[in-house]
Amino acid sequence: MGTAAVHLLLLLGLLHAGPGGEGRKGWRRRGPAARERGEAAAAAAAESFPLDFTAVEGNMDSFMAQVKSLAQSLYPCSAQALPHDLRLHLLHNASVTCNDGSPAGYYLKESKGSRRWLLFLEGGWYCFNRENCDTRYDTMRRLMSSREWPATRVGTGILSSQPEENPHWWNANMVFIPYCSSDVWSGASSKSEKNEYAFMGALIIQEVIKELVGKGLSTAKVLLLAGSSAGGTGVLLNVDRVAEQLEEMGYQGIQVRGLADSGWFLDNKQYRRTDCIDTITCAPTEAIRRGIRYWNGIVPERCKLQFKEGEEWNCFFGYKIYPTLRCPVFVVQWLFDEAQLTVDNVHLTGQPVQEGQWLYIQNLGRELRNTLKDVTASFAPACLSHEIITRNHWTDIQVKGTSLPRALHCWDRSLHESNKNGKAPLKGCPIHLIDSCPWPHCNPSCPTIRDQFTGQEMNVIQFLMHMGFDVQKMAQQQGLEPSKLLGMLSSGN
């Protein structure tokens, strides 16, 4: 055996050495980081899937560089051929289609040996009548047709195959389901002489599940149905249905879970009421009311029974459907979501906001925070943004010192432990993380803000001043000296 092979075996041996083994000492640091690595290794063993490098998370960059270098020196051909791309598969059932009648489909990257599957629902607003669907088709055709979809996609964020970017799910079977139904993944109507467009979002998910069963999903241990924006709402609408479908197919052993990113919208009163002309100007409640009729939208039966006939639109709002769900769901939501502000007619166009807008924005954060208080697993940073889990920087955002990947890993572990020991919370492994600071971007780990006109980066204080934030007045309201308030803002307190 060559020297490189010996080095590789020694490195991998460090991952599997017992807690008291001498080989682990060089990798161990005291405190939370050491606990995290030990917990991750234990969870990996329990889940029975291949090597999970969370055991050396604190030294991940140098460790992965060494492993990749050694792998390429040992197996130069196969190392270059590692399949990092997700490949397009159009549905065999040609009757389940995108809006324009072209076949729906999915992108897949298999991970042989892994029993974890991640299915991601793409987002991208919706349309709710013939006129705005025509406009959508002219301007955003890829969200209504598969005719120009590329043959492959590269996964990013939680869909990435790189452990540095995706420390806990990099080795899962990855499925990206493009959004081409414009119905928040709820529709069940086909294209016909009467219907210019098909709306089959709910049926597309069901059909993808059927096909994946023949590609290895049948042996899965965990299926995580994730989605962002309209896809996040789609998770809430479909996660129980996916679990029921798999049970009916005879796969009761698969644990189905949901991860809803930026899809937890409020049916609140708009800042400024406007006529319901298109997706942007229409109040969320009215748009969904019209849409659900136009799409022949379906909602989970348990939620539907909570409301009167004709009031099914309520189930599109997270805080109303969540209490009815059987599957565990992790909710990721910016407290100051840009899409929510858009439909509420608060437009931050670079001009200082008026006092009424500023109060409205603060109140929005409070309202959203209140709707999440009884959500078992949640991650809600006080940032002005939209979508996160497929962004390259998704590992950088923290709430109370915990990153989103870490919180998701703790959630994974809590679900695994609860199956064995009841629901005792795991020490030092938080899963309910909601920022308490009251202003947009008061969390210092928020994504970078850029001036819309100059393109220059702004820090928190510059951003708040830019929005018309009155430091003197706000300090007075909080009973603080202005200098102390500015210091608190700078540090994110």
Q: Which residues contact 177 (CB under 8 A, 6 or more apart)?
A: 106, 107, 119, 120, 121, 122, 204, 205, 208
Place of tokens 């931050």: 348
**DSSP assignment of 86-136:** EEEEE-S-TTSB-TTSPBPEEEEE--TT--EEEEEE-------SHHHHHHH
What is the token pair recorded at 32?
Answer: 């939370």
Tell me the C-alpha distance between 345 and 56, whole Å: 46
On the 0-12 / 13-18 / 19+ scale of CB atoms within 10 A, 489 is buried
* Annotation says 100 is catalytic: no
* Annotation says 386 is catalytic: yes
Of 173, 222, 166, 234, the closest CA to residue 415 belongs to 222
**DSSP assignment of 416-473:** HHHHHH-SPPPTT---EEE----STT-STTSPPEE-TTT--EE-HHHHHHHTT--HHH
Instruction: Write down the catalytic residue from 240, 261, 386, 416.
Output: 386
* Annotation says 89 is catalytic: no
CA distances from 241 to 99, 293, 326 (A): 22, 20, 10
Instruction: Write down the catalytic residue from 160, 229, 262, 385.
Output: 229
Which strand (E) or helix (H) includes residue 385?
strand 384-385
Of 174, 180, 185, 126, the closest CA to residue 152 belongs to 174
Instruction: Write down the catalytic residue from 52, 337, 412, 435.
Output: 337
Query: What amino acid is encoded at 154 in this protein?
Result: V
Please give the positions annotated as active site: 229, 337, 386
